[in-house]
Amino acid sequence: MINGDPNDFIEIVYSGQDIPFLFRGQKFWYQGYVKNDKWHMEIMECFPPCNYRWECDVITCDEGVDAFLKAPIFDGKTFWEVEHEIEWLDE
């Protein structure tokens, strides 16, 4: 991971805090929060087309992080397959 440690990034995912990051020149935004008594997590593209790349609603945060780590969000690849290309932004 550029500008950070991937394990620290995952710890922030667990906390639900907002995380801006770049992947292959595209800016993304992660956030997690409680919605309708479920843990909601989402990753959104920040510039056109400005859509959600990934969303999930689960009972526990652990389930959400597990889903995030298994999802082929990044051009058909998982976080661990591309973490070396992800730049953690400090914004």
Task: Give domain status of residue 82, yes or no.
Answer: yes
Number of domains in the chain: 1
Task: Give domain status of residue 1, yes or no.
Answer: no
Task: Give domain status of residue 26, yes or no.
Answer: yes
Task: Give domain status of residue 51, yes or no.
Answer: yes
Q: Whole-model pTM above 0.85?
A: yes
Task: Give domain status of residue 58, yes or no.
Answer: yes
Give the largest CA-CA distance in the chain.
Answer: 35
The pLDDT value recorded for residue 91 is 60
Tens of pLDDT, residue by residue over 10-69, are 999 999 899 999 999 999 999 999 988 999 999 999 887 778 999 999 999 999 999 999
| Residue numbers of the domain that contains 73 | 6-88
Task: Give domain status of residue 25, yes or no.
Answer: yes
Task: Give domain status of residue 41, yes or no.
Answer: yes
Give the chain's length. 91
C-alpha 61/C-alpha 15 separation (Å) is 8
